[in-house]
């Protein structure tokens, strides 16, 4: 990136960041969501600064980018909520098949394997994943608790999931 692009980005950021944040905060009614959406948007803007620099009205393009990032986040949250609702509504299905001694033994072995795999995770990932999976905190709640960004929390959760999937491959159906 050129020095001119750095200066352009700095000026664009300074002239639009506060207004973009207030715009998303008004839409979402949540300061943390607004902070996360605007931060993600400005990272995207930084990566594609040439597009903004060559646009006839770069400030307007910033607001379009921020609005679209907010809408994407809301769609994502709606999909997650729909999946969680479906799981909750169908939770009775797990009790329809009688447990056998073999099933109990397999579950015990799997439980032990999960604990071993969790112990292999770095402490930070283990803590974040435990908060998410076992204490059922949302990424936003974890981010607030640990004073980290929601994106960082989501990345850590996905990293832990990938590691655990790999470690627990033999227990998958």
What pLDDT was estimated at residue 110? 65
Q: What is the pLDDT of residues 2-11, one digit of tens each?
A: 777 889 999 9
Ordered domains of the chain (ranges, CATH): 3-88 (1.10.1740), 97-171 (1.10.10.10)
Give one DSSP letter per residue of 8-24, joined into a string.
HHHHHHHHHHHHHHHHH
Query: Does the pLDDT value for residue 161 go beyond 80?
Result: yes
Number of continuous H segments (helices) and E segments (strands) in the chain: 8, 0
Average pLDDT on 161-170 reads 80
Q: What is the pLDDT of residues 34-86, one digit of tens each?
A: 999 999 999 999 999 999 999 999 999 999 999 999 998 888 877 777 776 77
Q: How far apart are CA 167 and CA 110, in angstroms?
A: 11
- Residue 132, token pair as written in the block: 């998410």
What's the pTM?
Answer: 0.50
CA distances to 28, 132, 149, 152 from 141, in Å: 16, 9, 10, 13
């Amino acid at each position: 990136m050129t020095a001119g692009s750095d200066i352009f980005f700095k000026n664009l950021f300074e002239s639009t960041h506060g207004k973009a944040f207030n715009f998303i905060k008004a839409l979402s009614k949540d300061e943390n969501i607004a902070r996360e959406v605007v931060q993600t948007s400005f990272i995207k803007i930084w990566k594609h600064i040439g597009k903004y620099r060559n646009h006839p009205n770069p400030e307007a393009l910033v607001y379009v980018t921020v609005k679209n990032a907010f809408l994407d986040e809301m769609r994502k949250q709606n999909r997650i909520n729909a999946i969680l609702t479906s799981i909750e509504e169908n939770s009775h299905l797990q009790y329809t098949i009688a447990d056998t001694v073999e099933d109990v033994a397999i579950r015990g072995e799997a439980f032990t394997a999960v604990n071993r795999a969790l112990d292999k995770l770095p402490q930070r990932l283990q803590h974040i994943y435990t908060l998410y999976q076992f204490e059922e905190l949302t990424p936003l709640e974890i981010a607030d608790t640990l004073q980290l960004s929601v994106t960082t929390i989501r990345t850590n959760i996905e990293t832990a999931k990938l590691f655990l999937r790999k470690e627990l491959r033999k227990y998958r159906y």
